[in-house]
Structure 1
């Protein structure tokens, strides 16, 4: 590990330098300080787009270093001579050149320019590039898209808006996470497919900080990405192909998500206050049986089993419970309304040399479950940019701190709401106490006395120092630091259970998790650019030194003298430690890029990175990755340059490799842990992992070819891309014989996973006239994931999971053949013909759960002060249908369609006979049915994912104050044949995503 002895003194030295620079260069916050004040007169004016003022427009004097920017009201003041020419430039608008001609007032109306979008700078991580000149595949959304969505997780803002980026929500519990796949699954390991997240140049770990025993109320542990505040984000770029990701080496195998936070703008101080309030409801309930349908199903079950006397425990049907009572338990337990409130304020401004931004956000969100559960989130963000007067030195500083406090139920009641008999007793008795109906009713509200708490404090700071040594030679240092602390508890008091059991606090349980993570990064860089007569070159070299330290403590406490002490682990009678460890991850690398552009027609981009990771053993710690990308701007050829139809055309292609070290720390070493067992007064150690010195990197090789075309001055812009990625040298657990004492050893498997597909995007400006505009954005991705090689698969334990030539997301199931009219039982195909249905011999039908295609359609309308934006998301896929855990006839509610169950010999019915559970053949047949392709159904959907309507309210009384009113909706409307709840959701036993509506107001002054 000596190769990774990184000196923290670098970090201390760099931050000391920052402090000194801040003291030496005290910022001036006067409005519009020009670089040159030798002019003879002052010219003032206002810049608009025809309806509203434009902030941040650059106004410069042609041929001089005299530049100012327009303020929040679109106003500017600049010192000029009477014969000067003013140049007005603004991203997305046509550049104007206006002679002063002795005037003292010049008011400007700028026009949008679709073609200018190709000049927009795209963040590619270590460098930025014009949209027209990029050779890699990069998708982007901006704050204009983000601010229209009432969401709290950064991944939610990207759903349906980016080709090749598949995002699904984990559930409707506040603070829950999302799953992201960028061009498919590359690794056979479930936890080896996360992309790299970079926030303002600082890597942000997406490794879960939760623990499954703690967060069992949610389908997946707590997502650390909730700490990223969407309202602080200026743009999100997703790097997808080898040309874009290879410069990140081993960290870019699964794509890179670049998050850029908002920065201040020069001008007078601007204050913005936004407030919104909304409600959330479950998107879809299941169509279940009512009381009479349910009781008839139960009676049939006993009749079919030959039981004439109902058992004492059959409270729903033997008369113990009211057989005329009906409760819609889904509505009762999940039909509540989540209340969402959000408040945000920001202050920004500065001079031409120094700009600043300070913002704060506070959000609260309740849940649809009964009870006082709430998710609170507060965040503060600060950024400052400073330039020296000669523009040679630049300092960029940004920081953020987020506090989350999440109090939720320890048990998700979704499955309970679907299982409960519709004639189950009331939740409360006549005295308002929880009703247990004399010990016959397991009251679901009692489970809500068990709670989970998650408190997360997350801070991040980033500083970028840039100095221009000589013209075209720039020295840069990127410094970053992150600090996360996550404390979780799952509290299960004895009061959760029926008092009839007389359980005391000595039966109470407390699970706790304390996770802390700190990381720092130092990246020196040197960039040289040079313009030749007909070409230009851009060279970048740099290095990375990074370290992450993580510690965790997972504990279980049993038995307390009083439930009032249950929050204190030290008060537990018995304590168990699941895990107590500290790990250090060290990473270092050298990277480079050479970009050559000849005559604005032919572009060659070479990137490479030499990576070193402490997660591998001696001799395996370092690897080299690289890529080559090329582009031909054929629209700049002489025969097309003045085409009235084709305004832009580019062919691009890339090939390269990247790696993957997402395997956790110390996986190649012999490791030991405390056994927790006392032997002769000593606690012994037990081996937990075997040494494997050959453990090495996964490798992904990526190829892409694409065409980008713009027509009619880019009012129609179309992109088509084809890609093929192959990931080999897979890091998996290879099974071992039980005699070794270990079930598996971590090693590289000579298996290869391939992801291929096509992506299409279309952007059109359908209408653009005075004060009115209508534009459309469409994207669709068609992808295929398959295992193309796996030596020795048939003889391995993976033979029941994978098939050569099929997706790695397949499931092997029985083939369902229907209900036998004679026996009334579900039947599946006996594939091997041995007369016995077995998993090994008959599960041969393959169901692929990978989406066949997905995408989104977005429309944006603007009419004077009104703006309407809506996004339709669509997915073509298969999904598991909802299935109760017992067959029809058991004391579990079922789909209302199951009234059509088989009843007598010869019936042709879609569902088998009901059983009380005493018919073993019927029970076995049911579980074979659940494990067959009958329960894998069409889960495709088209969803009105987001809608936003806003109005800029003219406030003539309050001069200088802008007011915007908005209405927003998320998960508004879904069209789907799927009956099992929300078709996007993969976890049928948990709370599904919510439909959310919010109303808000924004004041700017």
Structure 2
């Protein structure tokens, strides 16, 4: 990488910067001299408000017909003022609405109502990353939501705003703990490695790493607790575009294999300075509890279990049934430990405005959120955003600057109480003694609240900035460069103080432990570009050439300390008697690329789009550091053909198709090298090193070949708009760990395997304008996706360690199960089919039934209704899927069970759903019970329809006031319709807190 030559290019950009300023100054002088003679007749000022009949419209152009140089733009409140003559006519235009002519007729105040024009929605420009394209002319597959969809949702992570709203995009929240993470898959799972399926995130042109910043030693049960994307404030997002097919993603090369998520933040608008303040408060709770046994049912199960095992005297450790614990006591532990209310508070403030050439936006936000757990735990997030856009008077030079800074402070328990709440005996002792101290009930149990002082705490400081300089050399030639920088500082601690143990153990602070994680990640990126366009024959040709230079460094130090003189010093690592480095890594990732795009639009009906990128990554060895990726996309707007002009019911029609390649380098840094780590073992007083990976110079890129075909049709002036797409993606050259003999000292060698994964499917989106009459409007949006995933090839699968994990021509997300047969009517024990007919049941031979856990289909249905100042927006999310549960051991042991297990076998000849209870003495029943939880009987229908989001707002009619007031209520995860009985059907992480149902209320003031 020649940094010196790039530095020289940078000086050229600075010259253009100052040249633009000089040109702006000269054009301003020239412009002023011309305007002196513009109007020589009598004028007066006209004021008013432009609205859609329900709310004001900012950004509307109000011009004088015939004199385009006399125009105004409505401000944030939809207000305008313009100098006109009494006989002029106003020309009012705004994207998405019908242009309107309004005669002045000597009036000084004219309020204007615009009508929606659904056909112009095809003229919306969509962000495609390095370029933008009209919705009607795009050749690639791009899903999009805007701030109107985002603002209705009471969420803190931008990924949550996309759930159920985009075809082909599956998003699952991994925990209901504040600040938790999300699992996102765009058109399925491409890589055999779970960590190799994350998309590329780009925020205002700056790539943003999706790698988690936590560590297993500090995060414990919350490995995704700190999501990097929590640093983005959803309320400041203008739009989110998801690039899916090769035509859209290939220009991102090696980083586009799993799709690209483009996040664009809000920018200032021209007009008078406006202030907006939002205040929101609300509450959250667990969506659904499992119906567990009460005390009488539980004790009946336990007594029957001992009776079945032939045990007449209860063991001393069976406190629940031997009289040690009150057998009339009942506690609903789910309500006790998870039934709290999470309180939300959110404050937002924004000031924006500017002139026609310069505008700005400054905002700040503060969010707090408690948990449903007992105790005083709090998640806090605050930040600010600033953007400044300027263009010269002659419109040739432009500068766009945006920056954001977010601080997060999270305080949570170090372990999830969910599994305890679901398994603790209902007659377990009270949590507290009469004096308020924790109750240990004579050392007969581990008080679940004892772990609350073992806190998990994290602090994150996230900075992101981007500057784009653009200069228009001629009308056809444009140069620009983007400069981006991001910096993330993250500190994470988990403590285990001696106070969490039973006081009778007499543990002091010398048993206390601290785990500390310090992670810092910073990245800079520079992307110079040249764009040229020209009319060619009866069409238009657009060319784009650019380069990317990126550098990212990550430092992580994880330490542990044990033995403190006092628990008050537990956060002081230097006070520990023993300090150990768990992990100490410094990585540097360098990336450079050259990309290009050629687009030819012939007669606005035949479009060809070619994209290509040559990538270079430091993550691969010599000879494999560079790769080429490219794609071709084509579209035919058949609705503009002569044969379609007579079809008055057809307002729009387009066929499009694409094919190309993208890649992936999501393997981590230095994986091709011999690496060593600190062993933590002392030898003669010195800490030794141990090898952690082997050198492999043949490490190369994963490659994803993408094929798509789609049709887009609009009917009745686009009041009904349907899109149908078919796709097939094949990912090969898989980067996996190839198993090695144990004699080598390594479990596997990271290498490329000639394995291939295919994702294919159908996606449908439907938009309907159901009613648009007067002040009432009703619009619906439906999306549904049918996706299939399968492993096409895997050489040597049968003899590898993956033999019990994957199957050829089957999905990656499968589990292998025993084939459940029935309950033996004589013994009451579960029976399973002997699949290999060897006379015995074994995992290798009989655990072979495949269960596909991928959804058969998923999607969402959104409805938007408005009447004057009232707006109602609600989204139903749905999925057809199966879930696989892991019950906690055979029923009858000292764990609570779902109430449905009451229907168990009692006597010979019984017909029951579940086997004989056992307290653990019946070895055959214990084994069968374990196999049952890994059999076809454990699979259930987890299909659901969920009221994912609902928002109701009302604009108060404050006539005569300059202040606009909006009241609103918002809900998330409020209702779920499902046959699934064991908790939340959408949530698949057993033993973790599921996402909460949330209800918030707020007020917005604009003045």
TM-score range, shorter chain: over 0.9
Relative to the length of structure 2, the TM-score reads: 0.96
Contact 1:635 1:649 in 2 (8 A): yes
Instruction: Name the structure 2 match of 1:636.
Output: 640
Instruction: Name the structure 1 match of 2:791.
Output: 787
Displacement, 1:101?
7.6
Displacement, 1:339?
0.2
Cα distance in 1, alignment partners of residues 563 and 327 from structure 2 = 40
Q: Does 1:901 align with 2:866?
A: no
Within the candidate set 940, 945, 949, 2:948 is matched to 945
Displacement, 1:219?
5.5
- Where in structure 2 are the equivalents of 1:294-313 lying within 5 Å? 294-313=298-317
Instruction: Name the structure 2 match of 1:827.
Output: 831
Cα distance in 1, alignment partners of residues 104 and 957 from structure 2 = 31
Within the candidate set 326, 341, 344, 2:345 is matched to 341
Contact 1:219 1:987 in 2 (8 A): no
Cα distance in 2, alignment partners of residues 920 and 912 from structure 1 = 13
Task: Pick closer, same or farther for the CA change 1:117–1:972 going to 2, 3 Å.
Answer: same
Contact 2:828 2:905 in 1 (8 A): yes
Within the candidate set 657, 663, 669, 2:667 is matched to 663
- Where in structure 2 are the equivalents of 1:62-461 lying within 5 Å? 62=66, 64-79=68-83, 86-97=90-101, 107-218=111-222, 220-461=224-465
Instruction: Name the structure 2 match of 1:39.
Output: 39
Cα distance in 2, alignment partners of residues 14 and 487 from structure 1 = 41
Within the candidate set 40, 56, 61, 1:58 is matched to 61
Displacement, 1:20?
7.4
Cα distance in 2, alignment partners of residues 64 and 514 from structure 1 = 58
Contact 2:480 2:528 in 1 (8 A): yes
Contact 2:542 2:599 in 1 (8 A): yes
Cα distance in 2, alignment partners of residues 341 and 840 from structure 1 = 53
Cα distance in 2, alignment partners of residues 341 and 918 from structure 1 = 53
Within the candidate set 502, 509, 518, 1:505 is matched to 509
* 3-state SS of 2:994 partner: coil
Q: Does 1:731 align with 2:735?
A: yes
Cα distance in 2, alignment partners of residues 12 and 374 from structure 1 = 46
Q: Does 1:704 align with 2:708?
A: yes
Instruction: Name the structure 2 match of 1:469.
Output: 473
Deviations 1:235-262 (A, max 9, x none): 0000000000000001100000000000
Instruction: Name the structure 2 match of 1:1003.
Output: 1005
* 3-state SS of 2:810 partner: coil
- Where in structure 2 are the equivalents of 1:852-871 lying within 5 Å? 852-871=856-875
Cα distance in 2, alignment partners of residues 292 and 15 from structure 1 = 79
* 3-state SS of 1:800 partner: coil
| Worse-superposed segment, 814-823 or 839-848 | 814-823
Within the candidate set 848, 872, 896, 2:852 is matched to 848
RMSD value over aligned CA atoms? 2.2
* 3-state SS of 1:799 partner: coil
Instruction: Name the structure 2 match of 1:963.
Output: 965
Displacement, 1:73?
3.4
Cα distance in 2, alignment partners of residues 532 and 88 from structure 1 = 33
Deviations 1:655-676 (A, max 9, x none): 0000000000001011122223
Displacement, 1:117?
0.4
Instruction: Name the structure 2 match of 1:985.
Output: 987
Displacement, 1:966?
0.5
Cα distance in 1, alignment partners of residues 616 and 937 from structure 2 = 49
Cα distance in 2, alignment partners of residues 83 and 584 from structure 1 = 68
Cα distance in 2, alignment partners of residues 204 and 818 from structure 1 = 52
Contact 2:190 2:197 in 1 (8 A): yes
* 3-state SS of 1:897 partner: helix
Contact 2:44 2:86 in 1 (8 A): no
* 3-state SS of 1:812 partner: strand
| Worse-superposed segment, 251-260 or 505-514 | 505-514
| Worse-superposed segment, 872-881 or 39-48 | 39-48
Contact 1:6 1:547 in 2 (8 A): no
Cα distance in 2, alignment partners of residues 235 and 121 from structure 1 = 12
* 3-state SS of 1:331 partner: helix
Deviations 1:782-839 (A, max 9, x none): 0000011112222222111111110011111111112111111112221112222211
Contact 1:39 1:81 in 2 (8 A): no
Displacement, 1:42?
4.9
Within the candidate set 973, 976, 988, 2:975 is matched to 973
Displacement, 1:411?
1.2
Cα distance in 2, alignment partners of residues 313 and 643 from structure 1 = 81
Displacement, 1:643?
3.0
Displacement, 1:21?
9.5
Cα distance in 2, alignment partners of residues 846 and 5 from structure 1 = 54
* 3-state SS of 1:824 partner: coil
Displacement, 1:213?
2.2
Cα distance in 2, alignment partners of residues 976 and 244 from structure 1 = 37
* 3-state SS of 2:217 partner: coil
Contact 1:981 1:988 in 2 (8 A): no
Displacement, 1:124?
0.4
Cα distance in 2, alignment partners of residues 10 and 487 from structure 1 = 39
Within the candidate set 923, 926, 931, 2:929 is matched to 926
| Worse-superposed segment, 771-780 or 502-511 | 502-511
Cα distance in 2, alignment partners of residues 25 and 468 from structure 1 = 12
Contact 1:36 1:65 in 2 (8 A): no
Displacement, 1:677?
3.0
Contact 2:20 2:397 in 1 (8 A): no
Displacement, 1:49?
2.0
Cα distance in 2, alignment partners of residues 507 and 15 from structure 1 = 61
* 3-state SS of 1:462 partner: strand
Contact 2:885 2:933 in 1 (8 A): no
Cα distance in 2, alignment partners of residues 256 and 560 from structure 1 = 48
Contact 2:453 2:500 in 1 (8 A): yes
Cα distance in 1, alignment partners of residues 818 and 955 from structure 2 = 59
- Where in structure 2 are the equivalents of 1:652-801 lying within 5 Å? 652-801=656-805
Cα distance in 1, alignment partners of residues 953 and 19 from structure 2 = 43
Task: Pick closer, same or farther for the CA change 1:925–1:11 going to 2, 3 Å.
Answer: farther
* 3-state SS of 1:470 partner: coil
* 3-state SS of 2:122 partner: helix
Q: Does 1:593 align with 2:597?
A: yes
Task: Pick closer, same or farther for the CA change 1:500–1:11 going to 2, 3 Å.
Answer: farther
* Unaligned stretches of 5+ residues in structure 1: none
Cα distance in 2, alignment partners of residues 506 and 26 from structure 1 = 71
Q: Does 1:622 align with 2:626?
A: yes
Relative to the length of structure 1, the TM-score reads: 0.96
* 3-state SS of 1:787 partner: strand
Give the number of equivalent residue pairs. Answer: 997
Displacement, 1:15?
10
Cα distance in 1, alignment partners of residues 221 and 98 from structure 2 = 53
Cα distance in 1, alignment partners of residues 445 and 803 from structure 2 = 45
Task: Pick closer, same or farther for the CA change 1:625–1:309 going to 2, 3 Å.
Answer: same
* 3-state SS of 1:644 partner: coil
Displacement, 1:24?
8.5
Q: Does 1:534 align with 2:557?
A: no
* 3-state SS of 1:293 partner: helix
Displacement, 1:17?
8.0
Displacement, 1:221?
4.3
Contact 2:46 2:107 in 1 (8 A): no
Task: Pick closer, same or farther for the CA change 1:305–1:455 going to 2, 3 Å.
Answer: same
Task: Pick closer, same or farther for the CA change 1:609–1:393 going to 2, 3 Å.
Answer: same
